[in-house]
Structure 1
Amino acid sequence: MKRAFAFFFVFALLAGLIGGVSWFQFVFKPQMIKGFIAKMAPPPQAVSVVEAKTETWVPQLPAIGTFKPYKGIDVAPQVGGIVTTLNFDSGQEVAQGAVLLTIDDSTEQADLKSGLATMKNADLALRRQQQLISGGNTSRATVDQAQATRDTAAASVERSKAIIAQKTLQAPFPGRLGIRKVDIGQYVSPGLALVTLTQLDPIYVDFPLPEQSLGAIQTGQAVEIRVDGQDTLFKGKVASVDARVSQDTRSVLVRAEVENGKKTLLPGMFANVAVLSGAPIETVTVPKTAVSYSLYGDSAFVVVPAPPKAEAGAAQAAEAGQPDLIVERRFLRTGQTRGDRIAVLDGIKAGERVVSEGQIKLQPNAHVVIDDRGGLQSRDPLPKQ
């Protein structure tokens, strides 16, 4: 009996010991660790911030355009023949009326001399018949026949002169020549393009605008244009608006005229166009890097003071020598962009500080510290080869 009681006592003692160790290991200890972790606040994130500011912006209608020549043609002969003289080089500036080239006209010159002789003889015959009819010695029909012969000879002479004139190609307007496609001694056929002639100052830029913008566009409006590879801001004005809207794109074609005194703008170049379409207005702007874009809308993180109850964050911020700050996620209604800044129509007020770098590691209400050393560093220029 005593042995059974002792065995039961030892068994109960071991079961209690094992149960206590298991409860401590699998219940109490995980809860203790979980509570300890919950009380630990993550360290504040270092971010770069900028203040939203108010700028005066003129409303603009942005568009993508292409430069078109003010005047531009392919210089081509009306008649064929052998090129005898060339008076231009590729890329040359020429004045209106400048002789570009001549085509061999020896045959036409011979025809002209023959025609002049025929016309002289016909003219003498006509005068003789006019003298005879005044004395009643010839019929009116004979005089009319002489008149017709003389007119035919004169027409032949004019035709020869016209063909000779067509074999001298002149610049119909001042401009710049393109690449020459002809050489002396080459036979050219009628209509063959020999060189391009383009008037570059002024120059046109054509660009489409959506039909919703028709009410805001009119001739004479100022236009600002930028092109890739040039820092110059080119200015012009709306010259004309197309009389119809494209059924495929629901856009209307607009043409602006731009001064091109230095002739750095060439037909076919890509153009970033902005039509100034209203009076200047006050607009709140932030850097484009401060705005995050997603399917749920545009947003930005705004730095605000932390509430008093955030003791852990306050302690860590105090250690860093900065006030305790947190971030709020604000959903925005954005507008147009100008350079590296974007207009905020709703969601941020002027003077509020927004995070410009470091948003990817932030969550709403996260504690932050401001790192004044932030900012993208420009790369050193690569050495030229």
Structure 2
Amino acid sequence: MAITKKTIRSIVLLAAAGTVIFLIYKKIAVNKAEGEPAAPGRKGGSKTLLTDAWVVKTSQLDQTIEASGTLQSNEEVEVKPEINGRITHLYFKEGTSVRKGDLLVKLYDEDLKAQLQKLKLQQQLAKTTLERQENLLKINGISQQDVDVTRNQVSAYQADMEYTQTQLQKTELRAPFSGKLGLRNVSEGAIMSSASVITTLQQIDPLKMDFAVAEKYRNAIKNGDQVNFYVAGDNKEYKGSIYAIDPKIDLTTRTVKLRAIVPNSSSVLFPGSFAKVKIILKDLPDAMMIPSQAVIPGTRNKNVIVASEGKAKFVVVETGLRTESTVQITNGLQPGDTVITTGILQLKPGMPLKYNKIQ
């Protein structure tokens, strides 16, 4: 029995050894076929990687900035009373356009009118008294002090009348500018306070558009520059012009805020809409553009792999503007250079190159 187990063990060991020898032989054969070193200490050919390439050439590039913006009313105000009171009349309809100075709301004013009438009568009496006292003063029948007191009363009544007249004006709410009214929040008979919002008034022609760009573009943008933008749900391109630039750069986002004026005579644009903004700064006629995937980012520098005498060569480059699929090279390459665009992670300096596709 023991002899049988020993024989079986020997057969198993021989089979395992044969398998190992076969695998080693197969590996050596594959390495020779691919041109790699067959074993340490022996010389062999370098592996050739099949890659795609891009021939660098110059083309025209429109230098543009893209940003997100928000449309706003050119002027906007909440219609509120300055004094407390009861609404007696509403002279507007919701969602309609009004002109500057149009009467919108009237508050109860009978008490103020009565007070004004009372002040007028008191002033008239004071004026009559003043005339009599001035006649008496001519014959020394009254002191100058009494005349001065009466004259002061006449002036005080005049001041009270002007104040009451001002309060009467506050019972009439008029449109401060031409625009479009919003929804009405109250009804006739409602008791209003200075915090109550009756409606809103917005001037929507023209509109303002606020957006922000990176601080590096601050000196490239100036008042009067044209902006193009799209709004959600509308494929039409709209235009505007920059008229105000915030002098301060935001410390959190490192952006500068800009404001553009947008014509809206047809009232197709609405305040609060999101806008995708594009600013065309200038055209670059001789820009060198390569695919974005060809650039290898590093901790300090950016590199690309170029073909030099059929072998891979790493070159440090400087980049500029970007599009959706390409990036501008401002330094490090020349027109006619062949840049590798695929397999860049497997390539090492000096490796032979074989091209699958050249663009």
Match of 1:345 among 320, 330, 347: 330
Taking structure 2 as the reference length, the TM-score comes to 0.67
Q: What is the SS of the residue equivalent to 2:176?
A: coil
Superposed CA deviations along residues 106-138 of structure 1, whole A, max 9, x for unmatched, are: 221222222222222222222333344345443
Taking structure 1 as the reference length, the TM-score comes to 0.63
Which residues in structure 2 correspond to 1:169-208 (within 5 Å)?
169-208=173-212
- Is the Cα contact below 8 Å between 1:202 and 1:261 reproduced in 2? yes
Which residues in structure 2 correspond to 1:1-385 (within 5 Å)?
25=22, 31-32=28-29, 35=32, 54-58=59-63, 63-208=67-212, 216=219, 220-229=223-232, 230=234, 231-242=236-247, 244-246=248-250, 248-249=251-252, 251=254, 253-262=256-265, 263-273=267-277, 280-284=283-287, 291=293, 295-296=297-298, 333-337=318-322, 342-346=327-331, 365=353, 367-368=355-356
Give unpaired runs (5+ residues) of structure 1.
1-17, 308-325, 372-385
Superposed CA deviations along residues 272-331 of structure 1, whole A, max 9, x for unmatched, are: 555666x6432436587x6467654878899x9x97xxxxxxxxxxxxxxxxxx999988
Q: 1:218 to 1:331 in 2, by over 3 A?
A: closer
Q: 1:257 to 1:369 in 2, by over 3 A?
A: closer
The percentage of aligned residue pairs carrying the same residue is: 20
Q: What is the SS of the residue equivalent to 2:75?
A: strand
Superposed CA deviations along residues 154-199 of structure 1, whole A, max 9, x for unmatched, are: 2222222111110111111222333322222211112323222233
Comparing both structures, which one devotes a greater share of its residues to strand? 2
- How many residues were matched structurally? 323
Q: Could you tell me how far apart the structure 2 residues matched to 1:135 and 1:69 are?
A: 70
* RMSD over equivalenced CA pairs, Å: 4.7
- Is the Cα contact below 8 Å between 1:53 and 1:351 reproduced in 2? no
- Is the Cα contact below 8 Å between 1:111 and 1:160 reproduced in 2? yes
Give unpaired runs (5+ residues) of structure 2.
1-14, 37-46, 348-352
Q: 1:27 to 1:54 in 2, by over 3 A?
A: closer
Q: Which amino acid aligns with 2:264?
A: G
Q: Could you tell me how far apart the structure 2 residues matched to 1:130 and 1:343 are?
A: 93
Q: 1:196 to 1:52 in 2, by over 3 A?
A: farther
Q: What is the SS of the residue equivalent to 1:176?
A: strand
Q: Could you tell me how far apart the structure 2 residues matched to 1:95 and 1:355 are?
A: 66
Q: 1:346 to 1:87 in 2, by over 3 A?
A: farther
Q: 1:276 to 1:241 in 2, by over 3 A?
A: farther
Q: Could you tell me how far apart the structure 2 residues matched to 1:360 and 1:253 are?
A: 40
